[in-house]
Amino acid sequence: MNLKVCPNCNSSEYIKSGVINHRQRYRCKNCNYNFTVNKLGKKIDDYYVNKALQLYLEGLTYREIERILGISHVSVINWVKKYNIKRPYNSQYHPTYKILNASELAIFFQSPDNIKGAGVVVTELGDKFMLIKWERFRE
């Protein structure tokens, strides 16, 4: 048996929990996750978890995050609940976003009209960049 830690929470505290299809099952004492020796579980890279939570805090909706990162919106919802993320609510601003490559980003910042009167955040998305801009609602 090469089992060292729980695949769900990386805890080393687990107990035997029956046999299914001639394979030993284990149960983690910390998170109550049931697993077998050969199953490591599906894991999304922490980069995408951090990026999804960052985009959520920037004001993007779950479905927009799904379209941008290619990760299910349900996964993003579960991460927001798991890490107890609270998005600040301000009704006077709304985010818009664009996905640009490096040269398009440079051209965007050359024009002062593009950044005047709004907050701008640039975040990396692989080989492209996402520009998130907050503008006041027009009344």
Q: How do residues 36-61 score in pLDDT, each as one tens digit?
A: 876 555 778 888 999 999 888 888 88
CA distance 61 to 55: 8
Tokens representing residue 73 in the block: 């919106």
Main-chain dihedrals φ then ψ at residue 53, nearest 5 degrees: -70, -35
Predicted structure pTM score: 0.57
Alpha helices in 30-128, H assignment, sequence order: 46-57, 62-69, 73-82, 102-110, 112-115
Whether the pLDDT of residue 132 is over 60: the answer is: yes
Residue 107 pLDDT grade (very low, low, confident, very high; cuts 50, 70, 90): very high
**pLDDT at position 4:** 74
The one-character DSSP state at 39 is -
- Average pLDDT rounded to a whole number, residues 8-21: 89
**pLDDT at position 24:** 86
